[in-house]
Amino acid sequence: MEKIQVFLADDHKILRESLVILLSQKDNIQVIGEAGDGQEAYRKIAELKPDVAVLDISIPRLNGLDLAARLRSEMPEVRTVILTMHKTEEYVAKALCSGVQGYVLKDNALEELIECIEKVYNGKMFLSQDVTGFVVDGFISSFRDGGIQTEAISTREREILQLLAEGKTNRDISEELNLSIKTVETHRANIMRKLGLRNLADLVLYAVRNHIIQP
Amino acid sequence: MEKIQVFLADDHKILRESLVILLSQKDNIQVIGEAGDGQEAYRKIAELKPDVAVLDISIPRLNGLDLAARLRSEMPEVRTVILTMHKTEEYVAKALCSGVQGYVLKDNALEELIECIEKVYNGKMFLSQDVTGFVVDGFISSFRDGGIQTEAISTREREILQLLAEGKTNRDISEELNLSIKTVETHRANIMRKLGLRNLADLVLYAVRNHIIQP
DNA sequence: AAAACTTTACAGGAAATCCCCTATTTTCAT
DNA sequence: ATGAAAATAGGGGATTTCCTGTAAAGTTTT
């Protein structure tokens, strides 16, 4: 019987080692390589041509999503599975856009990962129960209103958004940018309206989530 | 021979399961329990009294550092080891202040964790090679300026901090907790003063940085 | 039991934000 | 060039937060 040849990319060596040992105990799975960063993973995958590449998202040098996108275009015969701690809609959406065949959360059971590898090897897709909700919701809402319409904020608004998230007051900002307070107030209100934010705390969290500021 | 009784707390079930299996293969180690969040971990540790508790920092409901501090004061006979992805000085410092005996990074080898558990069980401390640098630096600088004094906030204050960071207004909070607005205002002011925060944006960032809320 | 801390609560005034509205100038694409 | 969107600015009032105090009741520590 042919074993499923699996490659692992994860920067946590403890997890990687553990998975190598445990997956190898399954008699239909064989781990043929591993890597601790994206670049190394790319090289080794190109050389080893595994059936399934299991990738963490947050790995150094080349993240798992970009790596997956690259694998899809250059080696479509290598199927990719994301194994990650991230359970937000944003990451799931990005992963699916990158053309991965599987998405498993690290807080799922090991058995889920094994099932995922087997399904994906057999040409199916596999998503963790926890993330399928997002996908269904996204599918439904794409019918309802043609996708999420995040009204784009302008450059100036983004600039002010950042200053607000950094803790500046309207007055601070008006002085820093040589504007009237009223102008800043208007921008602020427009930002809030466009992004559907209710208060400053929401705004700060929005900025963190969208990497406008670093926490 | 007495086996070292180990408890595991980590929200990533895959890692937890893997470690249970692999640590149990060592003939001097026995995993007697595990948990996916801090509250559950606390209850089970109180009941099982393991020799060593291996804790992740970012676990739901009660984070690993606060849990470690609680264990130190209430069950000092349970030794604690932090197993985490965080390799910044800040986390290492907090962990040591919480009285942990070991600090191992997830991207270290599994063998390091095993060595750590053994050392800690024998009354020694163990730090990953990667983090000892911080500790030495910190030791040196503590001579320079007498160490950092972060005034601790109370339980109630912490609760209100979280609600504020979630975007609740003083009024919302006063209703949710059945307090007068004035009380909430006082708590808020005390939190700000104690933590050296200047405005709500600072407060939200503080909460994100300290994992009181998730971005 | 005394001391120290926590939680609760309130007052009053200054500062800032929020809300709803209007309005001019600039910029940019069709 | 013409209209749409963005950037600018403002009025005025309601609401909220911020700051600085005081203080009582309950809890923990010493």
| Model confidence band, residue B53 (pLDDT cutoffs 50, 70, 90) | very high
Mean pLDDT of the region A103-109? 89
Of residues B4 and B205, the one with the higher pLDDT is: B4
| Model confidence band, residue B147 (pLDDT cutoffs 50, 70, 90) | very low
Say how far A140 CA is from C11 C1', in Å: 54
Q: Which of B112, B169, B209 sits opposite A215 (nearest CB)?
A: B209
- As a whole number of angstroms, the distance between CA A204 and CA A201 comes to 5
Say how far B161 CA is from C3 C1', in Å: 28
Nucleotides of D under 7 A from a protein CB: 5-11, 16-23
- A10 has pLDDT over 90: yes
Calculate how close chain A gets to B55, using CA atoms only, in Å.
Answer: 14
Residues of A in contact with B14 (CB under 8 A): 15, 19, 83, 104, 106-110, 112-113
- A164 has pLDDT over 70: yes
- As a whole number of angstroms, the distance between CA B101 and CA B52 comes to 9
Say how far A156 CA is from D6 C1', in Å: 9
Answer for the pair A7, A50: CB distance below 8 angstroms, yes or no. Answer: yes
Work out the number of other CB atoms within 10 angstroms of the CB of residue A147: 10
Which of these, B24, B23, B74, B15, lies nearest to B49 by C-alpha position? B74
Report in angstroms the alpha-carbon separations of B119 from B4, B56, B79, B114, B124. 11, 19, 11, 9, 5
Answer for the pair A72, A43: CB distance below 8 angstroms, yes or no. Answer: no
B182 CB inside 7 Å of strand C: yes
Residue A179 DSSP symbol: -
- A16 has pLDDT over 70: yes
* Contacts of A25 by beta carbon, 8 Å cutoff, 6+ apart: none
Say how far A197 CA is from C19 C1', in Å: 15
Q: Which of B13, B83, B201 sits opposite A109 (nearest CB)?
A: B13
Secondary structure (3-state) at B35:
strand
Write the DSSP assignment of A114-127 as a string of letters. HHHHHHHHTT--EE
Work out the number of other CB atoms within 10 angstroms of the CB of residue B77: 8
Residues of B in contact with A200 (CB under 8 A): 200-201, 204
- B11 has pLDDT over 60: yes
Is B201 close to A108, i.e. CB distance below 8 A? no
Answer for the pair A112, A132: CB distance below 8 angstroms, yes or no. Answer: no
Residues of A in contact with B209 (CB under 8 A): 215
| Model confidence band, residue B83 (pLDDT cutoffs 50, 70, 90) | very high
Q: pTM of the prediction? A: 0.50
Q: Chain A residues contacting B, CB < 8 Å?
A: 11-15, 17-19, 21-22, 36, 83, 85, 104, 106-110, 112-113, 164-169, 198-205, 208-209, 213, 215
Say how far A155 CA is from C28 C1', in Å: 14
* Contacts of B76 by beta carbon, 8 Å cutoff, 6+ apart: none
Which of A44-53, B51-60, B187-196 is modeled with the greatest confidence?
A44-53
Nucleotides of C under 7 A from a protein CB: 5-12, 16-23
Q: Which of B13, B168, B202 sits opposite A108 (nearest CB)?
A: B13
Tell me: the pLDDT tens digits for B180-197?
888 888 888 888 887 777
Tell me: the pLDDT tens digits for A51-83?
999 999 888 767 788 788 778 777 888 999 999
Q: Which of A12, A108, A165 sits opposite B85 (nearest CB)?
A: A12
Which of these, B173, B33, B103, B84, lies nearest to A12 by C-alpha position? B84
